[in-house]
Each structure stands twice: as structure tokens, then as C-alpha cells.
Amino acid sequence: MGQADHIPHPSSNVQFFIFLFLLLLVVYYTLKFLQIKRKYALATLEQQQSLDTRINSTINENLVHQNKPANTWQGFKNFKVIEKKVESWTIYQDKKISDICSFVLEPIETPKPLPGFLPGQHLSFLLDTPVVPKTMYYSLSDGPNENTYRVSIKRALPPPNTPGIPAGIGSTFFHDMIHEGDKVKTAMPKGHFFLNCKSTSDVILVAGGIGITPMISMAKSLNSIASERKIILYYGVRNLEETALIDDLLELSSSAKNFTCYLCLSAPQSAIKFDKPKNKQNKSIDKDTTKTELNPQNSDTFEDRDKKIQSIINDENILIVTGVDSDGNLENSLISKGCRVSVKLMKYHIEPQNKNYDFYLCGPPSMMKSVVTDLYHWDISKKNVHWEGFGPCAVMWPGDILNSPLKPCTVTFIDNEKDQKVYLDWKPASGSLMNMADEKEDVAPKIPRTCGAGFCGTCKTSFQGKVFYENKPGFTGLQPNECLPCVCKPDGDVILNLN
């Protein structure tokens, strides 16, 4: 008799389906749990990001709040110089003279607390110089506080090998004639160039020479409120001896949360060695040339200066740059050719395609033109780039030139004193009327100026035609037939009467 087929017991099938059901149930609730956990994690992340945003917003609102006006005033008021400090020295005509001086000012005629200011703004000074009364403009170089203002002023020497050109009237007056205890007349802080305090983006500061002053103000202001915004400073000077406001840089390095400075030396071997007389220049550096030198307690000795420079060299947050190799590694040899501030250098450290940055630039026209143009070609949005030059600075955003609503036209300059007419062709790339005249200085008359930024009214002149202002000028005393050539452009053919 053959073997009978095996027939599974009914209870074993039931057990199998129960096991399968339980397994599916476990899988289902496991997936459900993971899904809920993921949603919770994302919600927590969003809450944390929202909290970070609110914290940064609150911090920046505090910065805005602390800069709101307190005891305001009209016109110019007397301030007392309570501290004058020589920040650096130079040699001119075989004599040691002050190169950069800082002046700390305390109000006399207006009560404290002082009106706040937005970091990057400037003070206007009415100076009774021996030559002519002069209105001058200097950037505030400290963070806002309620008791004092500070400006740091570089002496404007005549260009080399240019006999007959005088030194800057305003800076010479400050360096040689203004001392501790003296009075100066100043107006309220103002200016269109300032830190966006409401932004939470990281900050890229780009400075050349004495253009460091508004950048120090911005960095110290952020540091004073413990801002989380990252601060990267690209600072260009010729050599270490010309580094301005070293004390402030070292303070920022030691106390700011997220501060890095790239100190770019374009001619690292050009520094004057004061403490090692080797030639005619250095043999005569002991000659007193200004009253500043008779007040040594407010200036560094050469030994003190050397110690501070050594501190800069050794500081881990201040990186000396004298070159960059093909792999992007920084070179810092003080006997190398040198390196200028550039967007090429920035590309090794920041990635704007992945993160938002606010750029702030202040320096000589050549640096400004190069950096602004390269930022445009790097696809940085104009709304994230802010700049201020030294006096009239023909720096234009390339996109504004390409998309300008203004058309090429003819500008006629009439100098009645010389009975002269000059015809020049204007195009969008020419910039303001003053910039165009400066570019054609061999044929165009020299337009008088002080600020070159639309505040003082020194360049005010009558005109015929129509002019265009990108931003409303700070000077408000214009008649309908008057314009400010430093900040306006022609909207069609224009005639300027310079006398």
C-alpha cells in the first residue's frame, strides 16, 4: 500500500497568518514611528532656526536701537578733543611726522547721551584753517557709545614728484594744529554708507588704507552686541608699518566671536625702518616737525609700535597675505612681491552660492573699481554690495551701466572767468558730471569739491537742462536751476555754468 500524502494541520496555517499579521503590524508601526520622529526632528530644526533668526534679529534690533538719536542738534556744535593719539608715523622731506591720528571728541554744548550713529557714517567738521574756512568729512572709527565720538585721520601729503601741489588742508590742520583740550565744530553723524543692522547675513569688510576706519566701526559695533554674524575683513596696505588702528584689530581678534582678518601687503619690503638709521632719511627722523611729537604720552614709541606689529604677525585671527599659490594656500613671506585685496583671494574663503553675505567696501578708486566689477561678474547681487570711496569715486555697478535709462549726450562746461567753453561727450559709463570732468582733466575745468558725496554743496553750480540723481543728495539748499555735479548725471544735453 503506497504512502499517503502529508496534509498540514489547520492550526499551523492559522499560526502562520497570525505571525505574518504581527510582522506587518510591527513593520507598519516602526515606519510610522520613524516618520513621526523625522517630522519632529524637522520641526525641532525649524524651531531652532526660527529661534536663531529671532535671536539675531533681536540682536540687530538692539544695534539699531542703540543708534537712535538722543540729544540731537542743528548745524555745528563745539566738541572738545579729550584725546589725541598718533596711530602711525611717516617720513616727509627727511622729517618724522604723524601719518594717522585718532581724535576722541566730547560734547561741550549738547548734553549726553550723544546721538547714536549707524556704523560706517561720518562726522562733518567746520574748520577755521589759516588758509580758508573748510568743511571736512571723516568717518567715525569707533563703535557707537553715549559719551564720545572718534575719528581717525590720515595726513594727506602731496603726491610724490609733484612740485606745487599742497598737502591736504583739512588733515594737515587736524594733525598740526588740533591738540588735546582744543575745540572743534562738528555736525550730527550722517551718511548713506552704513552697516545693515537688520540683516543676519555674514559680513565681508573690504578696506584699503585709511578706508579701514568705517570697517572698524562696523566690526566693533557687531562685537559690542555679541552678534553671531561672521566678520571677514580684507584689509590692504603697502606694508606692516602702514597698518592703521592696530589696537582695534588686536581687540577684535581677541574678543569678537567670529572675526578673521586677511591683511594684504602689496609692497611688504617698502616699510620705513625708524629704529635703524641707515640713510639720510632715517638719520634725520629725530627732528621735531609738529606739536604732536612734543606730546609723546599719546603716541607709541617705536619699540611699542614694533611690539604691536609683532603681535599682528603672531595673531591667529589676523593672517598676513603676501601671495597665494596655485592651490589657494596663503603666502606670508615679508620679502615676497606682495598681494593686493581681490575677489580672486575671496573665492578661496567664501562661497556665496551657498550662503548670503553683505559686502562693504571703502578704499582708493583703483581697488574699488576692481573689486566691485569682479563681484558683479561673480554674480553677487547689487543689493548685497555697498561701497564708499575717497572723495569722488567713479565706481559704478556694471549692471547699472548696461541697463541705464540715460542716453549718451553732450555736456557743456562754461567757465565765465576764463571765457572758456568745453564740450564733452557723456555716456553711462562716465558716471557723475564731476567724475567725467576728472577723467578729462586735461581739457575740462576743475570742479571745486570737499566731500564729493552730495553733502557739503561746495560743487553747487547753476545749469540748464535736466539732471538725474540716483539717491537724494544730503545737501538740501539747491535752487531749481542748481545741481551738485559730484552726484548727478545728465538726462539729455546739459550746460553747466561754473562761475
Cell numbers standing for residue 446 = 576743475
Query: What DSSP assignment string belongs to 157-194?
Result: PPPTT-TTPPPPHHHHHHHHH--TT-EEEE---B-S--
CB atoms within 10 A of CB 379: 8
pLDDT in tens, 135-167: 899 999 999 889 999 999 999 998 877 767 788
161, part of any domain? no
Whether residue 202 contacts residue 232, with contact meaning beta carbons closer than 8 Å, is answered with yes
What dihedral do alpha carbons 315, 318, 319, 321 form, nearest 10°? -120
Last residue of one domain, picked from the residues 392, 416, 448: 392
3-state DSSP call for residue 26?
Answer: helix
Cell numbers standing for residue 209 = 588704507
Residues 265 and 366 in one domain: yes
DSSP, res 192: S
pLDDT in tens, 335-379: 888 999 999 999 999 988 788 899 999 999 889 999 999 999 999
Closest to 398 in 3D by CA, of 380, 411, 421, 416 = 380
Whole-number Å distance between alpha carbons of 229 and 251:
17
Residues 358 and 410 in one domain: no
Predicted local distance difference test score (pLDDT) of residue 287: 36
Predicted local distance difference test score (pLDDT) of residue 288: 38
Predicted local distance difference test score (pLDDT) of residue 94: 83
Give me the chain's average pLDDT, please. Answer: 84
381, part of any domain? yes
Whether residue 123 contacts residue 198, with contact meaning beta carbons closer than 8 Å, is answered with no
Cell numbers standing for residue 259 = 572675526
Last residue of one domain, picked from the residues 364, 392, 420: 392
432, part of any domain? yes
Residues 386 and 453 in one domain: no
Cell numbers standing for residue 166 = 599742497
Residues 334 and 413 in one domain: no
Q: How many residues does the chain have?
A: 499
Domain count across the chain? 3
Cell numbers standing for residue 278 = 641707515
Residues 345 and 374 in one domain: yes
Whether residue 140 contacts residue 173, with contact meaning beta carbons closer than 8 Å, is answered with no
176, part of any domain? no
Average pLDDT over residues 84-89: 90
DSSP, res 430: G
Residues 436 and 480 in one domain: yes
User: Where are the alpha helices (H) located in 315-452, listed in sequence order?
Assistant: 343-346, 365-377, 398-402, 433-439
Whole-number Å distance between alpha carbons of 183 and 179:
9
Q: Which band of pLDDT confidence, cut at 50, 70 and 90, is reported for residue 221?
A: very high
Which residue range forms the structural domain that includes residue 59?
Answer: 31-66
Predicted local distance difference test score (pLDDT) of residue 273: 63
Residues 312 and 428 in one domain: no
Q: How far is CA 479 from CA 10, 434, 484, in A?
A: 106, 19, 11
Cell match 588742508: residue? Answer: 169
Closest to 424 in 3D by CA, of 434, 410, 435 = 410
Q: Which band of pLDDT confidence, cut at 50, 70 and 90, is reported for residue 125?
A: very high
What are the two backbone dihedrals, phi and then psi, of residue 331, each rounded to the nearest 5 degrees? -105, 140
Cell numbers standing for residue 491 = 538726462
Q: Which band of pLDDT confidence, cut at 50, 70 and 90, is reported for residue 118?
A: very high
Predicted local distance difference test score (pLDDT) of residue 336: 86
CA-based radius of gyration for the chain: 31
Choose the weakest-confidence range: 78-87, 209-218, 292-301.
292-301
Predicted confidence (pLDDT) at residue 281 exceeds the cutoff of 60: no
User: Cβ contacts of residue 408 below 8 Å, gap of 6+?
Assistant: 425, 426, 427, 428
Whole-number Å distance between alpha carbons of 425 and 323:
41
Predicted local distance difference test score (pLDDT) of residue 13: 67
Residues 412 and 384 in one domain: no
Point out which residues pair with 439 in neighbouring strands. none
Predicted local distance difference test score (pLDDT) of residue 24: 77
Last residue of one domain, picked from the residues 45, 66, 87: 66
Predicted local distance difference test score (pLDDT) of residue 59: 44
Predicted local distance difference test score (pLDDT) of residue 163: 67
Q: How many angstroms separate the first and last alpha carbons of the chain?
A: 135
Whole-number Å distance between alpha carbons of 241 and 88:
8
The H-or-E segment that residue 212 falls in is helix 212-224
318, part of any domain? yes
Cell match 566731500: residue? Answer: 451
Predicted local distance difference test score (pLDDT) of residue 280: 35
Amino acid present at 170? G
pLDDT in tens, 422-477: 999 999 999 999 989 988 888 888 888 878 888 888 899 999 999 999 888 888 88
Residues 373 and 407 in one domain: no
pTM confidence score: 0.80
Q: Which band of pLDDT confidence, cut at 50, 70 and 90, is reported for residue 260?
A: very high
Cell numbers standing for residue 43 = 520641526
164, part of any domain? no
Residues 381 and 491 in one domain: no
Cell numbers standing for residue 360 = 562693504
Query: Which domain CATH number covers 351?
Result: 3.40.50.80
Q: Which band of pLDDT confidence, cut at 50, 70 and 90, is reported for residue 279?
A: very low
Residues 323 and 254 in one domain: yes
SS3 string of 112-139? CCCCCCCCCCEEEEEEECCCCEEEEEEE
173, part of any domain? no
Residues 263 and 409 in one domain: no
14, part of any domain? no
Query: Which domain CATH number covers 409?
Result: 3.10.20.30
